[in-house]
Amino acid sequence: MLNSEKEQQGRGKKQSQLREVLKRLMKNKTAAVGMVIFLIIALASVLAPVLAPYDYAQMNLDETFQTPSREHLLGTDEYGRDYLSRILYGGRFSLGLGLCAQLFSLFFGVILGCFAGYYGGKTDNLIMRICDVWQSIPGILFTIILCAALGTGWINTVIAMGLGGIPGNCRMIRAQLLSLREREFIEAEHAINCPSGKIMFRHLLPNAISPLIVSSTMGIGNTINGAAGLAYLGLGVQPPTPEWGALISAARAQIRYYPYLILYPGLMLAITILSLNMFGDGLRDAMDPKLKN
């Protein structure tokens, strides 16, 4: 009975904490604006099939490079495909790429970090040295090599970008866990011989996760930006998929003649990253009140 009572109390606490964070978040205007913009973009991408006036792959070779007009709100690209629908569908791939890569690196980073932070000693040292090696190949270089190794395409790019982020998250979680581990409520857990897995994921993690969530929200934008860089080098997502990074890189040849081709995906990318950063800032302040100015 004692345990269940603690459960309620524990769950109650977490719920209120979540509501607390949301309340504080709403109060912070920039974060709210950021979240709203991001939701609009995410919604537009998800509803792409409904919103998009044309199918994104439907070509019309005698209507190439149309500047924005009534039928084609954002004009057409070099094959006469409607650019608005390509950008909307592109949103799916780009946001998907950003989200999945971050979730991928968050997932593995957290597991590695928890083991390193919680068990300490040899496992900690081993995992830390692996992270050292992993991080000593500079960021984008590691992604380039992985992209070449795994080959091009959306899924391979997600894996390549995701793998790059794991050591960073691992270190962050480990640092949090190290400081939390000594706290009394963890010793209390030991006292009632709560299984270590439960301690790690039910109690340690919720307290340690907040900085990671902040860094991941900002990471999404950088991942999409990185994908544009990869597409420029001819790796990552390849032309048929209308991912924003690939669109920007493909449009660079026409930068002088049809600037709108690089402008629109670039703007969408910029707005997404802007909104994510604003949301991330707000989230960090909401989650960590003492940081509030």
Partner 1 sequence: MKLTRRDFLKVSLGGAVSLSASMLLAGCGSGGSEKQTGHTKIKVGVSGDPKSLAPYALGNDARKMICFHIYQAAMHLLKAGDTPIPAICESYEMDMDGATVTVKLRDGIHDHDGNPFTASDLAYSYNTTKEVANSASYDYFTEVKAIDEKTAVIYYNPTDIVKRNNVESALAQGGVYMFTQAAWEASEDAMVATPVGTGPYRVSSFSVGAKVILEKVEDFWQAEAGYEVPRDYQANFDEIEISVITEVSQIAIALETGDIDASANVSEQDITLFQEGGEHADDFKVVKNEGFLGYFMTFNAHTELGGNINIRKAICHAVDLDGMINTLAKGEAVRMNAPYGTASSAGDYDPKWDEREYFPFSMDTAKEYLDKYLAESGKKAEDVVVKFAVQNNANCPKPAEILQAKLLELGIGVDMKVYDPATFNTILTEEDSYDFTMYCMGWNGVVNAWQLNDSSNYYYHFDKESAMYQELLSYTEPCMSRVTWTQEATEKLWQYVYDNAWVRGLYKNYDNIVVPKWVNEVVINFNRNCMYGSFVHD
Partner 2 sequence: MINYIIKRLLTLIPVVIAVAIVIFTIMYFVPGDPAKNILGQDATEEQLQRERELLGLADPYFVQLGKFLYQLFIKLNPGTSWLSGFPVMTELRVRIPRTLLLSFLTMALGVAVGIPLGVTAAVNQNKLPDKLCMIGSMTFISIPDFWLALEAVILFGLRLHWLPTFGMSSWKCWILPVVCGSLPGIASNARQTRSAMLEVIRSDYVATAKAKGLAPGAIKYKHALPNALIPLITMMGGHLARCLGGSMILENIFSMPGMGMYLTTGITQRDYPVVRSVVVILAIVFGVVMVLVDIVYAFVDPRIKAIYENQTFNLAFWRKRKDA
Q: Which positions touch partner 2 (CB under 8 A)?
A: 124-125, 128-129, 132-133, 136-141, 144-146, 148-149, 151, 171, 174-175, 178-179, 221-222, 225, 228-229, 232-235, 245, 248-249, 252, 255-256, 262, 266, 269-274, 277-278, 291, 293
DSSP 67: P
**Least distance in Å: CB of 150 to partner 1?**
10
Distance (Å, rounded) from C-alpha 259 to C-alpha 132? 43
Which of the choices partner 2, partner 1, none does residue 139 contact, using the CB cut-off of 5 to 8 A by kind? partner 2
CB 143 within 8 A of CB 152: no
Least Cα distance to 148 among 246, 249, 230, 247 occurs for 230
Using rule CB under 8 A, residue 252 touches partner 1: yes
Tokens read off for 240: 């048929």
Q: Which of 17, 30, 64, 210 binds partner 1 (CB under 8 A)?
A: 64
**Least distance in Å: CB of 148 to partner 1?**
7
Binding mask 33-62 for partner 1 (x = CB under 8 A): ------------------------xxx-x-
Report 210-249 residues binding partner 1 (CB under 8 A).
234-235, 238-240
Using rule CB under 8 A, residue 254 touches partner 1: yes
Tokens read off for 139: 């960021």
CB 79 within 8 A of CB 116: no
CB 132 within 8 A of CB 74: no
Least Cα distance to 103 among 18, 197, 217, 200 occurs for 217
Number of residues that bind partner 1 (CB under 8 A): 23
Return the range that interacts with partner 1 (CB under 8 A); candidates 114-122, 144-152, 194-202, 280-288: 144-152
CB 89 within 8 A of CB 112: no
Measured from the CB atom, the residue of 76 and 222 that comes closer to partner 2 is: 222
Q: Quick count: other Cβ atoms within 10 Å of Cβ 122?
A: 8
